[in-house]
Structure 1
Amino acid sequence: MNEPQSPRPRAPVRGVLSVLPYAVMAVVAAVDTSAGPEVGYLPLVSLGPAFAGLVGGWRRTLLIGALALLLAAGLSEYNGLLGDRRGYTAMLSVVGVTAAGLVAVRMRQAREAELSNVRSIAETAQRVLLRPVPMAAGKLRIALSYTSAVADARIGGDLYEVVTSPVGVRVIIGDVQGKGLEAVETAAVVLGAFREAAYDEPDLQAVGERVERALDRHLTSEKFVTAIMAEIGHESAVTLLNYGHPAPLAVQGDGTTRLLEPSARALPLGLGMHGTAPPQPHVHPFSPGDQILFYTDGVTEARDGEGAFYPLTEAAALLTETDADTALAAVRQSLVDHVRGPLQDDAAMLLLRYRKDGGRL
């Protein structure tokens, strides 16, 4: 998981904001000296310290304020307004705006510190909640990628777990509606119920019912959790139970890809009180050499600068890498390259590979 980060502007934007105060003061000085004192551009020098507080600390704001004051005094002298009311007004405006900018910087830094602290607490809770998945379970090779969003200090509620039970390997991946500590708490309820039920219950539907009941007791409002549960038993097949979650991507040994869609859509976990039919298990072939990629909507809903969604099915070609971790890392890098910046939502990916004759695949 990514380390906590305070919400700061992206590098190009930050660079523009850094030079903006100086550029504004330079433009005002050029216009004022060419237009003359009659037009009255001199008070606009205070825009320099007004923009200074957008990035950086109080020292930078104070420095720009001092430069603006010197510039206002110099322009007043140049225009013959140094002893005039208009010259004094311009310099007082610079002082006043600089003071306001210092207060704004202090408030911004306090908010950044608070958001960083909240994010740190939430990510610590999430690390405790999301235990490392095993690299192998039975005949499966498992790889995991979790990329935490850096938009604001509100992490998402993506969840995942792999449990080896008497009937086979059972998997869950899901996404809690909302963000922050409340989402982490809801994820804890889902994972706690799944870990118990996945080992105890004889069939996958019973596991889903146990998780649904636990979530109904926990939720106090109309929140929900999209999730998909999977069971890989002793046959060459995978059984899926989809609660309104994006369908996993299957990649067969010959390179053929398809989305494992259910025959009918079902509501997410937590909305069972509406009386709709629960999801029905659907079974798909899963043989040695095949792969299944589970993911959350932070992957498929990631957009590039032109608003295009990440083409996950096209990225299936990256899964041909022999090592599962390397293959999934390549997909993650492809996702980051597509966005060309920090992700705006948590993105979890869980890759299951059916190993060939006990090999490393």
Structure 2
Amino acid sequence: MTSTRPAEDVGASAPSAAPALDDGAALLQAPLWQRLVPVGAAMVVVCLADVLSGRDTYLASLMSVVPPLAALMLYPLEVVVTSSIGMLLMVLLTRYDGLGDLESHRLFQGTLIAYAALTLAAVLISHFRIVRTRHLVAVRTVAEAAQLALLPPPEPRVGRVRLAARYVSAADLAQIGGDLYAVLETPFGVRALIGDVRGKGLSAVRTASLVLGAYREAAYDERELTGVAERLERSVARHAASGEFTTALLVQFREPDTIELVHCGHVPPLLVRRVGDAVTLDPPDPWVPLGLAQLAMGGPRSWTAGFTAGDLLLLCTDGVIEARGADGSFYPLADRAPALLRAADGDLDAGLAALYADLTRHAGGPLRDDAALLLLAWDGEPTA
């Protein structure tokens, strides 16, 4: 049996090594001929329209669409070159149409001045567009590097547990946010954590890193899963900003067929059994989120549930169950997830991809909140 090294853990899925570019950045990397096609097509259309309309119709001034279009597609020097070609074509079309009086000559001179002004504005727009796009690419690259450091890409197996994960940040340009998860192989068995920091942005990322760091220490030191939760509580209370809290759910896999759970104000997990109905594992004695222990009596308590080979355990954050459809309804995770996950026939990545695709269809596009999904199963064939 192959297992990952105990010293390694699994966090949220990371982006690929290459930065995920937006449309503007992708356009900058496109070949020159692709970027020239729209501008060249505009020139051809104006020329054909002017020639086909006859000498009595003056359409050469429509060539003024070239500089603005070039500003959206090309680099500044390329804007100058293409706009110059457009001006030359406009002059040739004007000669073709003929200018019979002084008023027409003045109109043409005014058109040339306006065209030159448009060209200058287009060069400036192109320059600032490229500067902004490069800045956004740099920001996104830094965010991806931060995710690789904070939440390493998941391995398909940790000990005897198989897993698949998906994470989406709602923050603009960010690849990370306040949701977190990790899976560790410890001396006490495989342990998993999923959490959701209150808030978004850099503050949420800081708290998420605090919780993950504390978990990666406590999971190896504490024999009891409740002890891990207590260590996390102390860390959040000691270091997090006043008023901040983190919902969390901890899971320990006990071979051969049991899981132990500790609930700290988080979304209950969904157990999709190989045989029978799926069930939401609501805690018999829920505890408060991490950082709010002063509001509760006693400490966190654990409970157990059966978990056999072939069963699937789905952990998620509230960004999943609170995703609203066009009619305002929340995503019905317990109703939709079992069939989608079972249809994947044991392929955890495919099952999670199908579930996430269904979630975004329900939401009608990208999610408005951070969302994390973690799917776990025993590594082994189900017994008859």
TM bucket (normalised to shorter chain) is 0.7 to 0.9
CA distance, structure 2, for counterparts of residue 291 and residue 46 of structure 1: 62
Equivalent residue in structure 1 for 2:166, among 146, 149, 159: 146
**What letter corresponds to residue 353 of structure 1 in structure 2?**
A
CA distance, structure 2, for counterparts of residue 329 and residue 203 of structure 1: 34
Equivalent residue in structure 2 for 1:6, among 16, 21, 33: 21
Task: Say whether the 8 Å CA contact 2:35–2:74 is kept in structure 1.
Answer: no
Distance 1:27 1:334, change over 3 A: farther
Task: Say whether the 8 Å CA contact 1:25–1:48 is kept in structure 2.
Answer: no
CA distance, structure 2, for counterparts of residue 306 and residue 91 of structure 1: 54
Q: Offset at 1:171?
A: 0.9
Partner of 1:209: 230
Distance 1:334 1:230, change over 3 A: closer
CA distance, structure 2, for counterparts of residue 347 and residue 276 of structure 1: 27
Are residues 1:197 and 2:218 paired?
A: yes
Distance 1:338 1:284, change over 3 A: closer
Higher mean Cα deviation, 20-29 or 231-240?
A: 20-29
CA distance, structure 2, for counterparts of residue 243 and residue 24 of structure 1: 64
Task: Say whether the 8 Å CA contact 2:274–2:311 is kept in structure 1.
Answer: yes
Partner of 1:353: 377
User: Where do residues 262-341 of structure 1 align in structure 2 (5 Å cutoff)?
Assistant: 262=283, 268-270=289-291, 272=292, 275=295, 281-296=302-317, 312=333, 313-320=335-342, 324=346, 326-333=347-354, 335-336=356-357, 339=360
Partner SS for 2:192: strand
Partner SS for 1:155: coil
Are residues 1:65 and 2:83 paired?
A: yes
Higher mean Cα deviation, 342-351 or 285-294?
A: 342-351
**What letter corresponds to residue 83 of structure 2 in structure 1?**
G
Partner of 2:4: none
Q: Offset at 1:352?
A: 1.9
Q: Offset at 1:318?
A: 4.4
Higher mean Cα deviation, 304-313 or 121-130?
A: 304-313
Partner of 2:6: none
Partner of 2:8: none
In structure 2, runs of 5+ residues without a counterpart are 1-13
Are residues 1:254 and 2:275 paired?
A: yes
Are residues 1:88 and 2:112 paired?
A: no
Equivalent residue in structure 1 for 2:68, among 50, 53, 63: 50
**What letter corresponds to residue 281 of structure 2 in structure 1?**
L
CA distance, structure 2, for counterparts of residue 142 and residue 250 of structure 1: 15
**What letter corresponds to residue 319 of structure 1 in structure 2?**
L
Alignment deviations for residues 58-84 of structure 1 (CA, whole Å, 9 cap, x no partner): 355335533543454456553738963
Q: Offset at 1:177?
A: 5.1
Task: Say whether the 8 Å CA contact 1:76–1:82 is kept in structure 2.
Answer: no
Task: Say whether the 8 Å CA contact 2:171–2:200 is kept in structure 1.
Answer: no
CA distance, structure 2, for counterparts of residue 262 and residue 73 of structure 1: 79
Higher mean Cα deviation, 147-156 or 115-124?
A: 147-156
Between the aligned residues of both structures, percent identity stands at: 35
Task: Say whether the 8 Å CA contact 2:189–2:254 is kept in structure 1.
Answer: yes
Count of aligned positions: 354
Q: Offset at 1:194?
A: 0.8
**What letter corresponds to residue 6 of structure 1 in structure 2?**
L
Q: Offset at 1:254?
A: 0.6
Alignment deviations for residues 127-155 of structure 1 (CA, whole Å, 9 cap, x no partner): 233245565556x4221233566985311
Alignment deviations for residues 35-72 of structure 1 (CA, whole Å, 9 cap, x no partner): x999x998775444224333443355335533543454
Alignment deviations for residues 183-216 of structure 1 (CA, whole Å, 9 cap, x no partner): 4433221111011222323433332232233223
**What letter corresponds to residue 174 of structure 2 in structure 1?**
R
Task: Say whether the 8 Å CA contact 2:264–2:288 is kept in structure 1.
Answer: yes
CA distance, structure 1, for counterparts of residue 200 and residue 264 of structure 2: 19
**What letter corresponds to residue 290 of structure 1 in structure 2?**
D
CA distance, structure 2, for counterparts of residue 258 and residue 17 of structure 1: 57
TM-score by length of 2: 0.69
Task: Say whether the 8 Å CA contact 1:249–1:257 is kept in structure 2.
Answer: yes
Distance 1:302 1:275, change over 3 A: closer
Distance 1:164 1:131, change over 3 A: same
Higher mean Cα deviation, 217-226 or 87-96?
A: 217-226
CA distance, structure 1, for counterparts of residue 47 and residue 295 of structure 2: 66
Q: Offset at 1:5?
A: 1.9
Q: Offset at 1:252?
A: 0.6
Q: Offset at 1:172?
A: 0.4
RMSD of aligned Cα (Å) = 4.9
TM-score by length of 1: 0.72
Distance 1:228 1:298, change over 3 A: same
CA distance, structure 1, for counterparts of residue 56 and residue 237 of structure 2: 71
CA distance, structure 2, for counterparts of residue 301 and residue 339 of structure 1: 12
Task: Say whether the 8 Å CA contact 1:236–1:285 is kept in structure 2.
Answer: yes
CA distance, structure 2, for counterparts of residue 305 and residue 75 of structure 1: 52
